[in-house]
Amino acid sequence: MNVLLAGVVGSTAYGLAHSGSDVDRLGMFAAPTRELHGLRRPKESHVTTRPDTTYHEAAKAVRLMLACNPTAGELLWLEQYEVRTPLGDELIRLRRSLLWERGVRNAYLGYATQQFGKLRSREQDADGRARAAKNARHLVRLLAQAEELHTTGHLTVRLADPERVRVLGEELADEPERAAGLLARTEDRLRAPGALPAAPDEDAAEAWLHRVRAAHYTPPED
């Protein structure tokens, strides 16, 4: 793969990792341009476990980012990268232009609501409670990220106070309905005026993708 950007995401990036945590990696790659015009299109995503790694093809990655997908979007806001290329740097410089107010609100609240549903449905045995606490931590993290994006147009991947999030996750695992108040509070804040535009700059994203295709085109041999 022609990897453009790659780095460590998940609990390690958030500052929530513990001794048994997996190390999750996320990246984006450019398919050879000629392969996009054949009978069969190349795979848009490569996902493996042990280690947990996801790579999205450039077009799919940008579509996810334009939809404000919380997981895909993190790739543009990491403090450190394992792979960082000039084309990757170009997209990092465009990261704020890919965000938009309703997109952030719908995506982040949608993912947080999913975590709330999982939190409420967990069996309260030892394994179920551990998973519930993890769902709660994700919920808290998503709400904090949504509020930061809405008010500043910036995303800080590493949590400001990971220990507070751990403690709150344990508390919400014991009292899941408390999370409903957190969701409602963030939803109210995201409906107030913020720093994000009404729509993303799709033209800038399209122009970047054209540069990726030009850079990875190899003419056919005679």
Examine the domain organization and report whether 209 and 179 are in the same domain: no
What integer pLDDT is reported at residue 39 of this predicted model?
Answer: 87
State the residue range of the domain holding 91. 2-95+201-215
Using one digit for the tens of pLDDT, what is the confidence trace for 31-47?
999 999 888 889 999 99
How much is the mean pLDDT over the chain?
94
Buried b vs exposed e over 47-67: b needs ≥16 C-beta within 10 Å? eeeeeeebbbbbbbbbbbbbb
Establish if 221 belongs to a structural domain. no
Answer yes or no: is pLDDT of 222 > 80: no
User: Which residues are paired to 156 by β-bridges?
Assistant: none
User: Which residues are paired to 8 by β-bridges?
Assistant: 25
Establish if 158 belongs to a structural domain. yes
Residues 85-96: what's their mean pLDDT? 98
Examine the domain organization and report whether 122 and 147 are in the same domain: yes
Examine the domain organization and report whether 110 and 183 are in the same domain: yes
> Considering its fold, how many domains does the chain have in total?
2
What integer pLDDT is reported at residue 124 of this predicted model?
Answer: 66
Answer yes or no: is pLDDT of 125 > 80: no
What is the CATH classification number for the domain harbouring 8? 3.30.460
